[in-house]
C-alpha cells in the first residue's frame, strides 16, 4: 500500500494537475488572440505582446518545472 501511495503522489497527481491546466488551453486555442497581451500600462492599456505558442510553452514548462 505504501508503494502505491508513493507512486500516486509522485506521478499520477502531478500529471492530473498538468493535464487540468493544459486541456483547457488546447481546447480553447482558437479563441485566444494571437499575439496575447503580456504587459499592461498604468492605465490598463496593453503595451507588450507574446506569441500564443510561447504562452502555451510557458504554462507547460512552468508546470513541469514545479513538478
- pLDDT for the residue 51: 92
To the nearest 10°, report the CA torsion of 49, 24, 18, 12: 180
The mean pLDDT of 10-21, rounded to a whole number, is: 86
CB 48 within 8 A of CB 38: yes
| CA 40, chain centre distance (Å) | 20
- pLDDT for the residue 64: 83
Cα 51 from Cα 1, distance rounded (Å): 46
The pTM for the full model equals 0.67
- pLDDT for the residue 12: 87
Cα 44 from Cα 39, distance rounded (Å): 9
Using alpha carbons only, what angle is made at residue 50 by residues 48 and 53, rounded to the nearest 5 degrees? 175
- pLDDT for the residue 28: 93
- pLDDT for the residue 10: 85
Amino acid at each position: 500500500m505504501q508503494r502505491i501511495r508513493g507512486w500516486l503522489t509522485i506521478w499520477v497527481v502531478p500529471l492530473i494537475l498538468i493535464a487540468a491546466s493544459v486541456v483547457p488551453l488546447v481546447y480553447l486555442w482558437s479563441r485566444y488572440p494571437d499575439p496575447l497581451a503580456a504587459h499592461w500600462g498604468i492605465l490598463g492599456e496593453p503595451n507588450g505582446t507574446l506569441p500564443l505558442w510561447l504562452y502555451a510553452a510557458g504554462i507547460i514548462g512552468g508546470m513541469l518545472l514545479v513538478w
